[in-house]
Structure 1
């Protein structure tokens, strides 16, 4: 999912700590379908669950999943609560000052506005976005628009539906099912907004060997076409592919 660093990072851990462990811990939010969510069995599910499991298999690593709220997901990586982030996180220069990214495992995809009525003047609207995302950062630069931030993506949609906000700005992949399942009550408004440089896995800067293992696994999935097939399966035929 397309997101930006929020909050402060803790101290870096010792080099290659994760490689010395029996299990590599993958941190995700668990609240951003179709990328990641918690299913009825209480387990992490979605595109990034399937992708992460396949990458671990290709890298010959044993992995377990850890969930963490978005607003502290980078600080808790750096402080050692898990070994990697795979949570719809866009690669941005700001984040690269704190963490090390793999190559992207999704190409840059658009953000979009959704609302309950057409004809909204987005330049002067109240726009909801998730805290610490590239969408909230974008709205903050819009002269005339008012940004209202919420901790989770579901809360941004709820604010738009209740009238607390005129529109919501989020990843279009996230908003497509919201619009399709609304029966016409929610619609896309305005133009798509290109933000971010694609989504990648994030690692402590002190863990280059672990990052390189996952980077190689991502490349192997690009090379044999399985990554594109997984993008189509989970994100839809129209989602950008490699």
Structure 2
């Protein structure tokens, strides 16, 4: 059975590669470059992280040539729809609201916990001031919670708001916050974890036929274990996997 599944995955990827070869496609991969370990800029000024490794592998399997570009998070969807790049691969959770504007692939990262990080174990959401990055599912959750939401353009600014006393806590992906809390004795995970979104997927413009090729490549990476191996490499042994 395993052999049959792998064979089916290889057929799907071959079909995607044939599609890419027929069109001679270069795909511009849009990311934020500021959300480790999903994506960030290394000391050499290069885009790196989990999504760089995943994206390069997906392009190779689908037969595309990748070009990587960065874009600020708050305008990342508008600049996709206007044609400044062809995909978003930037820790973007699949939500019904976003699916009204873009087409998503299947998830390449499973649904994971969102966490609160603050400077006091006494944190409670009721009456709190909470920082979140603008246009994220975490910001949407806080806006509906009754707590006071303050939004920032970058994830670094949300953490800074806690450090300088502007916010009681920051609410973000646990995979982003846990390494920060581990390295700063003044910061700690507080409150209860929250499950949001339908996993992280690639976004493309509505009707873009390349989604099929990327979906086939994601399927093959799941089936041969490559995707789980990259998740564990970048997020650690406790990370959620497929």
2:223 aligned residue: 223
**SS, match of residue 149 in structure 1:** strand
Is contact 2:80-2:88 (8 Å) kept?
yes
| Structure 1 residue 117: Cα displacement | 1.2
Please list the CA deviations of residues 119-144 of structure 1 after superposition, one character each: whole Å capped at 9, or x if unmatched.
Answer: 1222111000000000000000112x
Q: Does residue 109 of structure 2 align to residue 85 of structure 1?
A: no
Q: Give the gaps of 5 or more residues in structure 1.
A: 1-15
Aligned counterpart in structure 2 of residue 140 of structure 1, from 124, 130, 143: 143
- Shift of the 214–105 alpha-carbon distance from structure 1 to 2, 3 Å rule, reads same
Q: Is contact 2:232-2:239 (8 Å) kept? A: yes
TM-score, length basis structure 1: 0.90
Q: For 1:103-142, list aligned pairs within 5 A.
A: 103-142=106-145
Find 1:161's aligned residue among 154, 158, 163. Answer: 163
1:46 to 2:39 alignment: no
Q: Which runs of 5+ in 2 are unaligned?
A: 1-18
Name segments (4+ residues, structure 1) moved above 2 Å: 19-22
Alignment of 1:178-197 (within 5 A): 178-182=180-184, 184-197=185-198
Scaled by the length of structure 2, the TM-score of the pair is 0.90
Query: Residue 36 of structure 1 corresponds to which residue in structure 2?
Result: 39
| Distance in 1 of aligned mates of 2:212 and 2:118 | 41
Deviation at 1:185, TM superposition (A): 1.0
Aligned length: 222
Q: Please tell me whether residue 210 in structure 1 is matched to residue 210 in structure 2.
A: yes
What's the counterpart of residue 150 of structure 1? 152
Rounded to whole Å, the distance in 1 between the matches of 2:215 and 2:169 is: 37
Q: Whose radius of gyration is greater, 1 or 2?
A: 2
Q: Which of 90, 97, 102 is matched with 1:94 structurally?
A: 97
Q: Return the alpha-carbon distance in structure 1 between the equivalents of residues 187 and 83 of structure 2.
A: 40
Whose helix proportion is higher, 1 or 2?
2
Give, in whole Å, the separation in 2 of the partners of 1:82 and 1:190: 38
More strand by share: 2
Query: What's 1:170 paired with?
Result: 172
CA shift digits 1:68-101 (9 cap, x unpaired):
0011111111111101110000000001001000
Distance 1:21 1:127 in 2: 47
Would you say 1:233 and 2:233 are equivalent positions?
yes
